[in-house]
Amino acid sequence: MHFRSREAKAETDVSTLRIVKLEQDLLAKNNGYAEANRRYLSAHGIFALNLVSSPGSGKTTLLVKTIAALNETQPLAVIEGDQQTENDAARIRAAGAPAIQINTGKGCHLDAQMVGQAMQQLGLPNDSLLLIENVGNLVCPASFDLGEAHKVVILSVTEGEDKPLKYPDMFRAADLMLLNKCDLLPHLEFDADLAIEYARRINPRLQVIRISATSGAGMPEWLEWIKDGCRNAVAAKPEASLG
């Protein structure tokens, strides 16, 4: 009996090592595609953002309002990630932006190869903005680099203040947190300061903007953050790609 137990443990250890090796290989392959995406984006002065959140955070509504505000002054396109349906991409197109929908099926995140293929289909213009709306999930997308300049995590005030503590990898990977639906704060017991404190406990360098896509609060700051990123992407474009 003792021998069998040791044998079973050995088999479990081998299986665990195989799973870890497969995950490492998968991430290494993804990182290769991500670097290719990043080189392409950099060469063409394209500022790319990877928007991540839980389902129901208001991410698509925020995107629609962002597109409406930038459409006249900033060339932009959207890659929509969802497990099923093309509803979100239809909303984005109706707002006036070219969009490609990627349905991941049972997959819980976009990967860099998917995004690279979508970028080529979109035919992104030089000096443009690329907004990538990832699948609604605060776990899997944290590990997958898409070649973006920044991950932007969206936390709504209708969620718990402790989301950053529950999903630390995502908040650690992000450069900016949008605290969304702030117009609802008078009607909730959500502690915005505590949520921000938790987020910065995980990631002290995290920038935070309190925002409401509905009321427009915080939108000017968010839009200026995007414009700064676009200007920096154009300024950093290699000389060989200019002209």
- Domain, as residue range, for 212: 2-237
Task: Specify if 17 maps to a domain.
Answer: yes
Is pLDDT larger for residue 239 or for residue 31?
A: 31
Q: How many domains does the chain have?
A: 1
Task: Specify if 21 maps to a domain.
Answer: yes
Task: Specify if 242 maps to a domain.
Answer: no
Q: CATH number of the domain that 162 lies in?
A: 3.40.50.300
Task: Specify if 221 maps to a domain.
Answer: yes
pLDDT on residue 16: 57
Is pLDDT larger for residue 83 or for residue 152?
A: 152
Task: Specify if 243 maps to a domain.
Answer: no
pLDDT on residue 192: 98
pTM of this prediction? 0.87
What secondary structure does DSSP assign to the chain, as a single string?
A: -HHHHHHHHHHHHHHHHHHHHHHHHHHHHHHHHHHHHHHHHHHTT-EEEEEEE-TTSSHHHHHHHHHHHHTTTS-EEEEEEESS-SHHHHHHHHTT--EEEEE-TT--S--HHHHHHHHHHHTPPTT-EEEEE--S-SSGGGG---S-SEEEEEEETTS-TTHHHHSHHHHHH-SEEEEE-GGGGGGS---HHHHHHHHHHH-TT-EEEE--TTT-TTHHHHHHHHHHHHHHHHHTS-GGG--
Task: Specify if 230 maps to a domain.
Answer: yes
5-16 confidence digits (pLDDT tens): 655 554 555 455
pLDDT on residue 104: 77
186-237 confidence digits (pLDDT tens): 999 999 999 999 999 999 999 999 999 999 999 999 999 999 999 999 999 9
Task: Specify if 63 maps to a domain.
Answer: yes
Task: Specify if 229 maps to a domain.
Answer: yes
